[in-house]
């Protein structure tokens, strides 16, 4: 029988464990547990609270970096794309008008861990909604397509003013 060299300790083992993957797995399992225990709608509500808090931090950081009290519509659109880029998402603007910003996305910051965890999309909705509303006064975010729901990418529309064009599926945000 041939001799096999076994690793001398755990540090030499080929185990796919590192901080980013661990944190994504942790968040996935937390979201999954919430979805199973209280339901997707209620889990989305809990994650929304966290998303709003994160949105406050992100908004403050960008306002400080731009040295402004309020971001312009153009800056808001730029920030929405940039903040996702910085956390390894791949958002881009599909269309931009005075009334809305339509964004696409090819890569979720949560990676494959977002699959079948639609409550995690509340992070995008709340961060986008908070940043937009705090600077422009109003936002309604419609998560039209998401990777979490099994789509190849995401399509997110951020409405910039209340109107009949805002679908009932959109979540509304207003300046505090």
What CATH number does residue 124 fall under? 3.30.1380.20
pTM of the model: 0.90
pLDDT in tens, 83-100: 999 999 999 999 999 999
Residue 3, in any domain of the structure: no
10, part of any domain: no
pLDDT tier, 1 (very low <50, low <70, confident <90, very high otherwise): low
Asked whether residue 38 is domain-assigned, the answer is yes
Between 157 and 15, residue with greater pLDDT: 157
In a domain, 11, yes or no: no
Burial class (CB in 10 A: 0-12, 13-18, 19+), 99: exposed
DSSP code per residue over 44-83: HHHHHHHHHHHHHHHHHHHHHHHT-SS--HHHHHHHHHHH
Q: Is residue 1 part of a domain?
A: no
DSSP state of 126: H
152 occurs within a structural domain: yes
Quote the number of domains for the chain.
Answer: 1
Inside any domain, residue 2: no
Could you report the per-residue pLDDT of 104-127, keeping only the tens digit for each? 999 999 999 999 999 999 999 999
pLDDT 10s digits, 39-91: 999 999 999 999 999 999 999 999 999 999 999 999 999 999 999 999 999 99
Assigned domain for 155 exists: yes
* Full residue range of the structural domain in which residue 157 is found: 17-174
């Amino acid at each position: 029988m041939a001799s096999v060299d076994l690793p001398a300790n755990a540090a030499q083992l080929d185990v796919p464990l590192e901080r980013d993957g661990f944190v994504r797995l942790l968040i996935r399992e937390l979201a999954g547990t919430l979805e199973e225990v209280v339901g997707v709608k209620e889990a989305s509500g809990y994650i929304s609270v966290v998303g709003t808090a994160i949105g406050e931090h992100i908004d403050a950081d960008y306002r400080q970096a731009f040295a402004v009290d309020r971001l312009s519509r153009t800056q808001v659109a730029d920030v929405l794309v940039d903040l996702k880029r910085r956390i390894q998402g791949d958002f881009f603007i599909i269309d931009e008008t005075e009334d809305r910003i339509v964004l696409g996305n090819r890569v979720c910051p949560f990676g494959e861990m977002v699959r079948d965890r639609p409550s995690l999309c509340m992070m995008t909705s709340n961060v986008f909604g908070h940043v937009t509303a705090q600077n422009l006064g109003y936002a309604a975010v419609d998560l039209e397509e998401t990777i979490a729901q099994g789509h190849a990418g995401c399509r997110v529309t951020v409405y910039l003013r209340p109107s009949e064009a805002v679908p009932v599926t959109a979540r509304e945000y207003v300046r505090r």
